[in-house]
Amino acid sequence: MTKSERSAYIADRLEDLYPETPIPLDHRDPYTLLIAVLLSAQCTDARVNTVTPALFALADNPAAMAKVPVESIREIIKPCGLSPRKSAAISELSKILVAQHGGEVPADFESLEALPGVGHKTASVVMSQAFGVPAFPVDTHIHRLAQRWKLTSGKNVEQTERDLKRAFPEEKWNKLHLQIIFYGREHCSARGCDGTVCGICRTLFPERAKAVKTRK
């Protein structure tokens, strides 16, 4: 198969498997999504979802969160890991949203990425899932599968994002991002498949005999 043929097959197969793509992180609006995505760094979505109810019961908007002591935030989010850094970022970005953005989450990449603790991937998730702007956030699942499916050279996540945006139509990006994550978790995980086991890997590369080593 050519790369374009692989891309078309992948998109069709994932649409069959995951016609609905609910956002894995529980949230109510752009702000709570932003905080949940920030907390998900080096943490599972499932664990984040057990922590955010208590956090959002304490404060679920920038104005309220800006008044919460950092220590109180940190105590709640400890199970997510990296709590000193994440709690400081949550407190500071909330203050910035109040001071500079009228208490609202801005709907542009530059403003989002200027917030403490918000990198390009986090901004991409918020832009795509909260505001419907085409984006292709690349997490570890997507980075791994894009390499196994030979859609990218895998040099880094930035290159993977650029390659995937070229491989798929823009109107599919937001949904495909979630579909690939779902497939990576269920069928093509880091340990469960090495590029030779899952259905898509076997279909795309039936003669592949060696495991695919994922570049970080």
Task: Please state the domain extents for the chain.
Answer: 3-21+136-204, 30-129
Same topology between domain 3-21+136-204 and domain 30-129: no
User: Predicted confidence band at 155 (pLDDT cuts at 50, 70, 90)?
Assistant: confident
Hey, which residues are catalytic here? 121, 139
Question: Over the stretch 43-92, which tens digit does the pLDDT of each residue have?
Answer: 999 999 999 999 999 999 999 999 999 999 999 999 999 999 999 999 99
pTM confidence score: 0.93
How many CB atoms within 10 Å of residue 165? 14
d(CA 88, CA 72): 11
In CATH, which superfamily holds the domain spanning 30-129?
Hypothetical protein; domain 2 (1.10.340.30)
CATH of the domain spanning 3-21+136-204, picked from 1.10.3720.10, 2.40.37.10, 1.10.1670.10, 3.40.50.460? 1.10.1670.10
DSSP state of 212: P
Count the residues in the chain: 216
Whether the CB-CB separation of 164 and 142 falls below 8 Å is answered with yes
